[in-house]
Structure formats: C-alpha cells, structure tokens
Amino acid sequence: MRLKITIINFISLLLLIGCSGADNGNTNQGSLISNYDPKHDINKGAVVITNNGVMNIEQLHDFVEKSNKSVKSNLKIVKVTTEGDPIYHYLEFNGTEFIYKVDNTKDEYGDNNPKEIKCSKFTKINNKNKTTYVLQHCNNDKEKVVVLSMKESDQ
C-alpha cells in the first residue's frame, strides 16, 4: 500500500514540475492571458479591433477623409488576437503614398519581424453586410493588402 502511495506522489510531483514551465526570458511566451489593455490605445486615438468588435472607428473615417483631401495623416490600428496579444498596424499618408507598417513583436505567436509596405491607393469596398478597407498598388505591384474588414454592425 505504501508503495502505491509513494508512486502516486512521485507521479504527481513529476506532473507539477512538468506543468510549471521554465522562464525563457520572454515574458510574453507561454502566457495564457495577455496583459494588454486596449483602453490606453483607445485614449491615444487608435482604432482597436477585438473579438467584441471595433472601437474608435471614427478615427479611421477621419483618416480616410484627410487622405481623400491629400492631407498628411497617421492612423494606428491595434488588432487583438484571440489570446489577447496586440498586433500594431500603422498607416501613414504622406500626401502622395500610403505607408503601412505591421508590428507583431508583442504577439506570442508573431514572427518578431516588423513589415513595411508602400501603396499608392486606399479604397473602401462596401459589400452586403461588410465594409473592407484595402491598400492597392503596393510595392510597385498589383499587390493589395486588407487593412480592416468589419461587419455592418461594428461600424
């Protein structure tokens, strides 16, 4: 009987040790819940997209209006992953072209390799129940990038 109790205790100890994980120096790795709070970015004027919808969408409308008038403008969009990690999207209109930067370094599953794309056109496409904002003619090619797509109920 003592042998069974000893074996059960030993297995339990191994499970506890195995499940505790090791700190590899990256505080974001292995976290089940992100510490990201969208309120900070919302207060700074960013558009924030979560599983609950799109917040601060008027900032996107303002950016579109300014770029249509050839006025220089910047917009920050934060797309929050299912795990709660932010992926930052920066959209700049410098008067002639759009510069789109994606920074996923705070995303647990991101590749930690920020990207930058230059595009000559930014369009809004309305479909039945969805609006999509697309950058076109990117990097001197016919490449296009979907910046934001949202249901009619999120607008």
Contact 91, 78 (CB under 8 A): no
Q: Is residue 116 part of a domain?
A: yes
Q: Is 70 exposed, middle or buried (0-12, 13-18, 19+ CB in 10 A)?
A: exposed
Domain that holds residue 111: 36-154
Query: How does pLDDT run across 21-34, given as a tens digit for each residue?
Result: 444 444 444 444 56
What confidence score (pLDDT) does residue 41 get?
Answer: 92
**48 forms bridges with which residues in the sheet?**
55, 78
Q: Is residue 29 part of a domain?
A: no
Contact 135, 100 (CB under 8 A): yes
Q: Is 98 exposed, middle or buried (0-12, 13-18, 19+ CB in 10 A)?
A: buried
What confidence score (pLDDT) does residue 33 get?
Answer: 52
Position with higher pLDDT, 128 vs 61: 61
Q: Is residue 61 part of a domain?
A: yes
Other Cβ atoms within 10 Å of 75 Cβ, number: 22
Query: How does pLDDT run across 93-126, given as a tens digit for each residue?
Result: 999 999 999 999 888 888 888 889 999 999 999 9
Q: Is residue 23 part of a domain?
A: no
Task: Identify the H or E element spanning 151.
Answer: strand 143-151
d(CA 125, CA 59): 18
Other Cβ atoms within 10 Å of 145 Cβ, number: 18
Is residue 5 predicted with pLDDT exceeding 70?
no
Query: How does pLDDT run across 24-81, given as a tens digit for each residue?
Result: 444 444 444 568 888 999 999 999 999 888 999 999 999 999 999 999 999 999 999 9
Q: Is residue 129 part of a domain?
A: yes
What confidence score (pLDDT) does residue 110 get?
Answer: 84
What confidence score (pLDDT) does residue 32 get?
Answer: 45
Q: Is residue 48 part of a domain?
A: yes
Identify how many contiguous H helices and E strands the chain contains and give both numbers: 3, 8
